[in-house]
Amino acid sequence: MSTPNEPAKPSASAGSAAASLSQVTIATPAEHDGDEPSEDTISSRGRKAKRAKETKQQERDNDGIGPTGRPYREIPEPPPLERHGPALVMAMCNQKGGVGKTTSTINLGAALAECGRRVLLVDFDPQGALSVGLGIQPHELDQTVYNVIMERSVSITDTIRKTRVDGVDLLPSNIDLSAAEVQLVAEVGREHTLLRVLRPVMNDYDYVLVDCQPSLGLLTVNALTAADGVIIPLECEFFSLRGVALLIDTIEKVQERLNPKLDITGILATMYDPRTLHSKEVMARVVEAFGDIVFDTVINRTVRFPETTVAGEPITTWAPKSAGAAAYRALAREVIAR
Ligand SMILES: Nc1ncnc2c1ncn2[C@@H]1O[C@H](COP(=O)(O)OP(=O)(O)O)[C@@H](O)[C@H]1O
Ligand SMILES: [Mg+2]
């Protein structure tokens, strides 16, 4: 597979998680099912109407061509399942932070569950953002994924928790996990630790989504060793292509040395802004570099997502009729079809 050339300009990171979270205004339940922030001003309504018009026009102009610049592929209806498991393990991976790994893990998980799939979400980042995003306070937990991987007496089934979303369970994490990276180095079979601890529950789920931390360290290598597929969320910003070559190199090494069944399931473009030429240009570069593995589904940039983090639930339940919810449902169908 081809990898993109490094962009020539010096690095400057795009918006951080902290920056987007500081802009959050929480909508009241009656307001929160639209696609736009919920400021209730006349000028905001005017803007909304204008944007809706623009979107309609765009759809007419596009004639079935998606934001990837390709026609949408035909995706079959997800078949109903007669029984559950064994699970496919997907690592949500990109060593760059703030690209939408955690957001995509929660919302793809919830959308897969809407298709009748049983889903386990594994928080494999000591920041615990996935746990927070599902309404769990990581510092209050006394058993997390850390205990499961480091202490043989702690069972995974006792540590997995139900979430408010039907069909979605969580193996939570907190800052304790940051010690694991160092401690695992001395373990026998250190790269296979996650694979080993997941084994007892593999038949209970159809999908296990592992939310990786923003690094290519031992925890991420564990996730890749346990995985059947990798989903790479990629922010539609010029500098996001930097580092993807290194990520793909790591994936290929894991494939060669530890896990021959590992595959790149797909590349997910996130934080896309259909109104900017910049987003379109980055999208074109991504499709040029990676071709068919780029999902047709593209996630637009919207304040709906930071809001859902604060609400502690996926967008599919927080704003079920929003464009963001529809996008993750479309992604779930693509993932099931691949
Ligand atoms: N499509 C999106 N549009 C706008 N903000 C988003 C989108 N996806 C995620 N965010 C926000 O960006 C920040 C980083 O996203 P996150 O999923 O935590 O990234 P990562 O896990 O890769 O660090 C969070 O505040 C999140 O709410
Ligand atoms: Mg994250």
Pocket of ligand 1 (CB under 6 A): 17, 20-21, 97-103, 129, 214, 270-271, 299, 301-302, 305-306, 309
Cα-to-centroid distance, 301 and ligand 1 (Å): 9
> Of all atoms in ligand 1, which is nearest to the CA of residue 104?
17
pLDDT at 41: 46
Mark out the alpha helices in 200-302 (DSSP H runs). Answer: 218-226, 244-257, 277-290
pLDDT at 238: 84
Give the whole-angstrom CA distance, residue 69 versus residue 25: 33
Cα-to-centroid distance, 272 and ligand 1 (Å): 12
Structure tokens at 66: 């998606």
Query: How far is Cα of residue 153 from the mean position of the Cα atoms in its chain?
Result: 31
List, in order, residues 6 or more apart from 308 with CB less than 8 Å away. Answer: 103, 106, 107, 133, 314, 315, 318, 319
Write the single-letter amino acid at 25: T
Write the single-letter amino acid at 285: R
Give the whole-angstrom CA distance, residue 110 versus residue 325: 10
232 within 8 A of 1, measured Cβ to Cβ: no
Give the whole-angstrom CA distance, residue 35 versus residue 30: 13
pLDDT at 239: 85
Q: Please give the backbone phi and psi of residue 235, each rounded to the nearest 5 degrees, phi first.
A: -70, 140
User: Judging by DSSP bridges, how do beta strands 207-212 and 168-171 pair with one another?
Assistant: unpaired
Q: Would you state the torsion angle of the CA atoms of residues 179, 181, 182, 184, taken in this order, to the nearest 10 degrees?
A: 110
Cα-to-centroid distance, 313 and ligand 1 (Å): 14
pLDDT at 243: 84
Question: For residue 168, is it left (φ>0), alpha (ψ between -120 and 50) or beta?
Answer: beta
Domains and CATH numbers, the chain: 83-337 (3.40.50.300)
pLDDT at 84: 94
pLDDT at 23: 36
Residue by residue, pLDDT tens for the chain (338 residues) are: 444 444 433 333 333 333 332 333 334 343 455 554 444 445 556 665 665 555 555 555 567 899 999 999 999 999 999 999 899 999 999 999 999 999 999 999 999 999 999 999 999 999 999 999 999 998 899 999 999 999 999 999 999 999 999 999 999 999 999 999 999 999 999 999 999 999 999 999 999 999 999 999 999 999 999 999 999 999 999 888 888 989 999 999 999 999 999 999 999 999 999 999 999 999 999 999 999 999 999 999 999 999 998 899 999 999 999 999 999 999 999 999 99
pLDDT at 11: 35
pLDDT at 3: 44
